[in-house]
Amino acid sequence: MDDCLAQVAVDFGGRNWLEWEADFKREKIGDMPTEMFFHLFKSFTDGAKCNLNIKAEGTNEHHKIEGIFKAFAKAMKMAVKRDANKMFLPSTKGML
């Protein structure tokens, strides 16, 4: 990821919302239009009914999206991991 800092937070609280702070200066990364990354995560939040906050900064466009996907994977893992002591999923509302 080199020059990039990516931050992702997710909450499966039953409401869909996406905060997106990741600007891309190139039209495409590989064969994928950069505008489709926002669309992908927006579609995810709509379908999963979750809040998703994504922020990325850096100069290399490939590193930015790579960092976003890696941070997204980590956030998802944390969001659905059961508490080993209490054996329930983390939720401020008590349900997922």
Q: Edge-to-edge, what's the strand order for the sheet holding 17-21?
A: 5-11, 51-57, 17-21
List pLDDT tens digits, range 3-32. Answer: 999 999 999 889 999 999 999 999 999 999
Residue pair 34/27 in contact by the 8 Å Cβ criterion: yes
What is the C-alpha separation between 14 and 65, in angstroms, rounded?
A: 26
Residue 43's pLDDT is what?
A: 98
List pLDDT tens digits, range 48-93. Answer: 999 999 999 999 999 999 999 999 999 999 888 876 776 666 665 6
What is the C-alpha separation between 9 and 45, in angstroms, rounded?
A: 12
Three-state secondary structure call for residue 80: helix
Q: Please name each of the domains of the chain with its CATH number.
A: 5-80 (3.30.230.40)
Which H/E stretch holds residue 33?
A: strand 32-33
Please indicate whether residue 46 or residue 92 has the higher confidence score (pLDDT): 46
